[in-house]
Amino acid sequence: MLSPTRDEVHRHLSVVGLMQPALHKQTQAPDPTQIDHDLFRAYTRLAHDIGGEADVPIEYHEKEEEIWELNTFAICECLAWRGVWTAEERRRKQNVDVGQTMYLGLPYYGRWLLTAARILVDKQYVTLTEMHDKIMELRERVASGKGLGEYLPAK
Q: Which residue has the higher pLDDT, 17 or 106?
A: 106
Confidence grade of residue 93 (pLDDT, cut at 50, 70, 90): confident
Q: Is the pLDDT of residue 147 over 70?
A: no
Cα dihedral 93, 94, 97, 101, rounded to 10, equals 160
pLDDT at 56: 62
pLDDT tens for 26-68 read 566 677 788 888 877 776 666 666 666 666 667 778 888 889 8
**What is the band of 19 on the pLDDT scale with cuts at 50, 70, 90?**
low
Query: What kind and span of H or E run contains 75?
Result: helix 67-81
Homologous superfamily (CATH) of 67-144 is Nitrile hydratase, beta subunit (1.10.472.20)
Angle at 135 between CA 134 and CA 139, to 5 degrees: 115
* Model confidence pTM above 0.75: no
pLDDT at 97: 81
CB 41 within 8 A of CB 15: yes
Is position 109 annotated as part of the catalytic site? no
Whose CA is closest to 9, among 58, 55, 56, 57? 55
Q: Burial-class residue 72 by CB neighbours within 10 Å (0-12, 13-18, 19+).
A: buried
Among the listed residues 43, 60, 103, 108, the single catalytic one is 108
- SS3 string, 105-132, reads HCCHHHHHHHHHHHHHHHCCCCCHHHHH
Q: What residues does each domain of the chain span? A: 6-44, 67-144
Q: Give CA–CA dist 117/114, Å, rounded.
A: 5
